[in-house]
Amino acid sequence: MHEFAVAEGIIRQACEAAVRAGATRVGRLHCRIGMLRQVDEFLLREAFIELSRGTLCDGGELAVRKCGMRGTCPHCGRTYRNLGLSSESDDIVGNWTCKTCHTALTGLVGGDELELLSIEAEVHDEHQNTAEHLSEK
């Protein structure tokens, strides 16, 4: 259930950036979340809808890019760019063994990303910005 904390962080960062830019409404929010974070996307969206009410992000849409780990098989050299823990990634890691030679994969990097990349925001709207109530929390 850390999805609520992730949603809260996304909304806070987005509202602050929107206010700085003089935007009046946030449309899409692009973020990158690593597989190791074990964030449930459905729960994240529910949390986002709940927590964004009354903020500049109200009605906004989360665009989540999940990313896995990267590495090379120590035995056969097969390269992996998006190893994940579930079928959402390009390569399912399963028991963390190489798909070609079944050697145990080790020294994998990445997969712990947790970033708000960018937001698409509108500048012409009559909504008042209500970012304060979140940033004060």
Partner 1 sequence: MNIRILRNIFQKNDDAASENRASFEEFGVTCFNLLGGAGSGKTTLLEGIIPILRKNLSIAVLEGDLATTRDAERIARLGVPVVQLLTDGGCHLNATLVQHALHEWPLEKFNLVIIENVGNPICPANFDLGEHFRIATLSVTEGDDKPLKYPLLFKDAAAVVFSKCDLLPFVSFDPEAARSEIKRLNPTARIFETMAAPSDRTQADAAHDTDEWDEPGPSTTGMRLLAEFIRSRCNHHATAE
Q: Smallest distance, Å, CB 118 to partner 1?
A: 5
Q: Smallest distance, Å, CB 106 to partner 1?
A: 5
List the 91-92 sheet strands across, edge first: 69-72, 79-84, 91-92
d(CA 28, CA 86): 25
Q: Using CB under 8 A, which residues numbered 98 to 127 contact partner 1?
A: 104-107, 112, 114-123
- State the DSSP string of 39-53: --HHHHHHHHHHHHT
Residues 41-80: x where in contact with partner 1 by CB under 8 A, - otherwise, as a string = ----------------------------------------
- Find the length of the chain: 137
Can you tell me which of 90, 96, 102, 125 binds partner 1, judged by CB under 8 A?
A: 96
Q: Which amino acid is at 66?
A: K
The torsion angles phi and psi of 47, rounded to 5 degrees, stand at -65, -40
Residues that bind partner 1 (CB under 8 A): 1-2, 5-6, 9-10, 12-14, 17-18, 21, 23, 31, 36-38, 85, 93, 95-96, 104-107, 112, 114-123
